[in-house]
Amino acid sequence: MQVWFRNGSEHNEARVFRHRIVLEGIVQGVGFRPFVRQLADRFGLAGTVFNDSGGVVIEIDSADDDQPRMFLDALRAEAPSASCIERLTVEGRECEIARAHFTIAPSPPRENSFTLTSPDLGTCAACAAEIRDPADRRFGYPFNNCTNCGPRYSITILTPYDRATTTMAKFEMCAACALEYKDPANRRFHTEPIACPVCGPRLSFSVEEAVAAIARGEIVAVKGLGGFQLACDARNAGAVQELRRRKRRNRKPFAVMVKDVETACYYFAVSEDDRRLLTDRAAPIVLLPLRNGSLFPGEVSSGLPHFGVMLPYTPLHHLLFHGGPDCLVMTSGNLSEEPIVIENGDAEAKLASIADRILTHNRDIFMRVDDSIARTFEGTPRLLRRARGYAPKAIRLAHAVPDVLAAGGELKNTFCITRGNYAIPSQHIGDLENYETLQFFQETWQNLRQVYQAEPGVIAHDLHPDYLSTRWALSQPGPKLGVQHHHAHVASCMAENRIRGPVIGVAFDGTGYGTDGQIWGGEFLVCDYKGFERRAHLRYVPLPGGDKAAKQGWRMAASHLFDAFGEEFRDLDLDCWRHVRLADWEIFGTALVRPSLWTSSCGRLFDSVAAICGVSLENGYEAESAMLLETAAAEDSGVDRYMADIDFKSMPWTIDTRPVIRRAAADVKAGRAAPQIAGAFHRGVAQTIDAVCRAIRERDSLKEVCLSGGTFQNWTLLHETVGLLRGSGFEVRLHSQVPPGDGGLSLGQAVIAAAFLER
């Protein structure tokens, strides 16, 4: 923060100075203006406060410096908890006439500036208590909110953030709400989405009817904060299975919403770090293991040991637990692979075949925002999906950068824009595989472009020519920049840790288009924002069937086995070979002997080992086999490890995975249990990472290691790898603000593109 005051020598009791305070950061939609008004009244200061498109502006008139200084000290110390002051400046000038009162003024626009938009906030304790209190006028009201909570980003149409620029504009305040809105002592003072049963939004039918339907085992579509959700009794295995059938979601786990944190602790093992994350105002889905002895239908998690758990984050959610089940499946309201539904009409058209009842309301959702997913590691929340509660919160960069747009990747897409010292990633868009998701991408881009007045000097995109995000970027006017996938992964980790490099980047994932036209995914890079050198990679193996190999792990198992044993692998009598035989060996064998595509993917290596040891032969959803392999590894407490060989003869070095495959196959033949094989494999991968990083340090004298890519969403591998690297003296940098997977890719693309413009 930078602050300028008059020098003490200029102090003159007879002169009145007007101090203009400009606040930048997340200072709109978080109760800042009411807070400033109350603070000014406390110190007896006259002046004004208003939002503008750059933040919050405060003007106070005073004949001395003591009161303004005390005011500023309190401003910093007591700022609303949901706010984030990124910059504070003060300028003073003499004025002839001092104001008599302190007022909240209308918000004038300001050209060529922007303000950081607040994410949606979970219901605060005070508002939750009111809807439970029969004596309160908002008893049972599903749209209760105040300056400390409620909708923000999802209802904001334009900035500055005022009621007139939100979807609440059509609801005229009643007299009682207007009094609260104008009362500086009220916590709803200038709460833009303020509402009550008299003047606010209304449901299409009662909450009691929805609760009764869920209790009967029915599926209810509920219009939530950033889109519709599908709810059913999580303890009713039949209802959960029926939801799977109707939504065409065969094996992918469902998230659950529990009544309160005590209920979460009853069913799940909740650490203190997990508890803090669960009760955070962002209210993400938190991955938690079942508590010992706790029973839960396997239909919810599909065999995975961790459940996605969240608490109610809107008043409507709180009311759904009044008299009904204490644990609900709460999953996105959409057809498979499509964006979450936000319009009432679309819900009737698209969700009628899934839901028995559809509970709508008449407050429009302007921006669709799915639930965020997080997990704690070393006491820090780590985002796996960045959406509601976090987006579009800006990430402060180490220095100001040029304006760019980064289009992201194909899977788990986000895009990112930069303005000044900030990178602003979008919320989770999803897999860009259809027209509906591309529309969502474009809608969100147009909205954030307006909010941040973004005029990018270049559009960054992935090198893969067939990605929809790449094709979209290339269709736009202006300069373009292709960014290598794994360089972007490492750069995203660098950006959120505010380091400029060079660093050792370990980028492990399933798929990324390489500069040689092959599919990368097991990469060791030395890089900064301006470029990278490939120091090492996993040995190339054939990619039989192209994209099919990402879904059918037995294909990659056959490829790795063929690489390790030649055609003799057919004599190993493994399950994956039986699938190859059914696929017609003559055709399949050609893809192995004369491959058209090769890969160094670590994700596909995980799929291969999962198939070899019989844990999983196919991915019903992305990374299912790898997650099941991690689940098996968690049951092993051994110390054995499968080590790869490293060929240092030429650069980039090749990490030969054939010894790993031979060991795994031999152990299967010897009757070794799958958990032991999985455990040895995980430990071996971590040991190999450490060995390669030590070799790079010896060559390049680097001590910082950035771990990125979807493979590092594997907590077993991450824990083992971080421990080994730190034991070897490395400074390890991890993700926390964006996912390590492709959801964080756009941030890396953005800072690389900005560095390109700075050359």
The DSSP code sequence of 128-168 is: HHHHH-TTSTTTT-TT--BTTBB-SGGGB-SSS--GGGBTT
pLDDT of residue 613: 94
- Inform me whether the pLDDT recorded for 1 exceeds 60: no
> Mean pLDDT over residues 321-331, rounded?
95
pLDDT tens figures, 169-180: 999 999 999 999
- Inform me whether the pLDDT recorded for 13 exceeds 60: no
Confidence of residue 12 (pLDDT cuts 50, 70, 90): very low
- Inform me whether the pLDDT recorded for 758 exceeds 50: yes
pLDDT of residue 431: 94
Strands 480-483 and 459-462: parallel
Residue type, 220: V
Element (H, E) at 318: helix 315-320
Confidence of residue 452 (pLDDT cuts 50, 70, 90): confident
- Inform me whether the pLDDT recorded for 550 exceeds 60: yes
Mean pLDDT of the chain: 91
Query: Any idea which of 41-45, 351-355, 412-416 has the lowest mean pLDDT?
Result: 41-45
Higher-confidence residue of 579 and 667: namely: 667
High-pLDDT (> 70) share of the chain, % = 95
- Cis check: omega of the bond before 652, within 30 degrees of 0: yes
Burial environment of residue 369 by CB neighbours within 10 A (0 to 12, 13 to 18, 19 or more): buried
Confidence of residue 4 (pLDDT cuts 50, 70, 90): very low
Which of the 8 DSSP states describes residue 250? S
- Inform me whether the pLDDT recorded for 438 exceeds 50: yes
Confidence of residue 110 (pLDDT cuts 50, 70, 90): low
Would you say the pTM of this structure is higher than 0.95? no
pLDDT tens figures, 570-600: 777 777 767 766 666 677 778 888 888 999 9
Report d(CA 51, CA 728) in Å as an integer.
Answer: 51
- Inform me whether the pLDDT recorded for 9 exceeds 50: no
pLDDT of residue 581: 66
- Inform me whether the pLDDT recorded for 8 exceeds 50: no
Report d(CA 307, CA 302) in Å as an integer.
Answer: 10
- Inform me whether the pLDDT recorded for 338 exceeds 90: no
Element (H, E) at 88: strand 84-95
Report d(CA 227, CA 223) in Å as an integer.
Answer: 6
Query: Any idea which of 7-11, 668-672, 724-728 has the lowest mean pLDDT?
Result: 7-11
pLDDT tens figures, 279-306: 999 999 999 999 987 788 888 998 899 9
Confidence of residue 112 (pLDDT cuts 50, 70, 90): low
Q: Are 536 and 655 in contact (CB under 8 A)?
A: yes
Residue type, 206: S
Q: Are 560 and 607 in contact (CB under 8 A)?
A: no
The structure tokens 């077993």 sit at: 716
> Mean pLDDT over residues 356-378, rounded?
97
Query: Any idea which of 1-5, 599-603, 635-639, 674-678 has the lowest mean pLDDT?
Result: 1-5
Q: Are 437 and 447 in contact (CB under 8 A)?
A: no
pLDDT of residue 7: 41
- Inform me whether the pLDDT recorded for 738 exceeds 80: yes
pLDDT of residue 113: 59
Q: Are 223 and 317 in contact (CB under 8 A)?
A: no
- Inform me whether the pLDDT recorded for 14 exceeds 60: no
How far, in Å, are 114, 290, 431, 530 from residue 757 at the CA level? 21, 49, 29, 10
Q: Are 124 and 148 in contact (CB under 8 A)?
A: yes
How far, in Å, are 25, 51, 173, 183 from residue 190 at the CA level? 19, 12, 12, 8
Query: Any idea which of 69-83, 283-297, 412-426, 554-568 has the lowest mean pLDDT?
Result: 69-83
- Inform me whether the pLDDT recorded for 706 exceeds 80: yes
SS3 646: strand
pLDDT of residue 89: 86
Higher-confidence residue of 66 and 427: namely: 427
pLDDT of residue 11: 43
pLDDT of residue 5: 45
Report d(CA 321, CA 312) in Å as an integer.
Answer: 9
pLDDT of residue 672: 95
How far, in Å, are 143, 450, 544, 579, 655 from residue 554 at the CA level? 50, 47, 10, 7, 22
Higher-confidence residue of 7 and 517: namely: 517
> Mean pLDDT over residues 467-474, rounded?
97
